[in-house]
Amino acid sequence: MSDAVLEAVEGDITTQQVDAIVNAANSSLLGGGGVDGAIHAAAGPALLAECRELRQTRYAGGLPVGAAVATGAGNLPATWVIHTVGPNRHAGQTDPGLLASCFRSSLGEAGRVGARTVAFPAISAGIYGWDRHDVAEIAVATTRRALEAGVVPTPDGEVDLSGIELVRFVLFGRSVYDAFQRQLT
Ligand code: APR
């Protein structure tokens, strides 16, 4: 039984005072627009340098859709940025399991690095074209299920999530916030 708190707020994920913020990245890990652009702009060049290093080593072919990887956070208030790649509806990636994997894998990375508080954006609800209601439903259900289980399976074995105390969904705009709040009540 997890006693982690789940909450939704309207705001900018780059200003969140949490241990880890999740980035809605793309497979290149080399930045983009939306959340990705805002996080890299706020973190500074150290974040891009660390992402480039990942592309030259562990993720030479890019970060797969649904996977997640933690880096430092440069100038951000957070200690870690957890990069994940959401499914792109415009590219025909409509499998909800891929989006669920983003939330589950990101929680696994948070557990692996020892983050106690984690902030998520509405992954795939922007440029990647998913409906905010679908994203909210998948995000909250997957997060609840993973925290209840207390562990997530990862390629390197099971990761314990019992240290996670807070998961905050940080949303741009009232309509996305309402979609998440509806799932949380
Ligand atoms: N804080 C919180 N939420 C934000 C912020 C921010 N600073 N900026 C944007 N958002 C919201 C968007 O309004 C949307 O609801 O985050 C949600 C996700 O939008 P995107 O950032 O467009 O992410 P996604 O839909 O997953 O598309 C990813 O966009 O930025 C590029 O490099 C990224 O190619 C990748 C694609």
Name the domain count of the chain.
Answer: 1
Nearest to 120 by CA among 3, 2, 19, 37: 19
Please tell me the predicted confidence (pLDDT) of residue 155: 84
For the chain, give the mean pLDDT: 97
In the residue annotation, 134 being an active-site residue is answered as no
72: exposed, middle or buried (C-beta count within 10 Å: 0-12, 13-18, 19+)? middle
What proportions of the chain, in percent to the nearest 5, are helix, strand and coil? 40, 20, 35
Question: Could you report the per-residue pLDDT of 24-48, keeping only the tens digit for each?
Answer: 999 999 999 999 999 999 999 999 9
| Whether pLDDT at 5 is above 80 | yes
CATH of the domain at 41: 3.40.220.10
Tell me which residue has its CA closest to atom 8 in ligand 1: 35
Length of the chain: 185
**Contact by Cβ (8 Å): 38, 78:** no
> Which residue among 22, 35, 36, 88 has the greatest number of ligand 1 atoms within 8 angstroms of its CB, and so is best to mutate?
35
Tell me which residue has its CA closest to atom 7 in ligand 1: 12
Please tell me the predicted confidence (pLDDT) of residue 1: 62
CA of 154 from ligand 1 middle (Å) equals 25
Both tokens of residue 48? Answer: 């891009």
Which of 19, 36, 156, 178 is labelled catalytic?
Answer: 36
| Whether pLDDT at 170 is above 90 | yes
Residue range(s) defining the domain that contains residue 171: 5-184
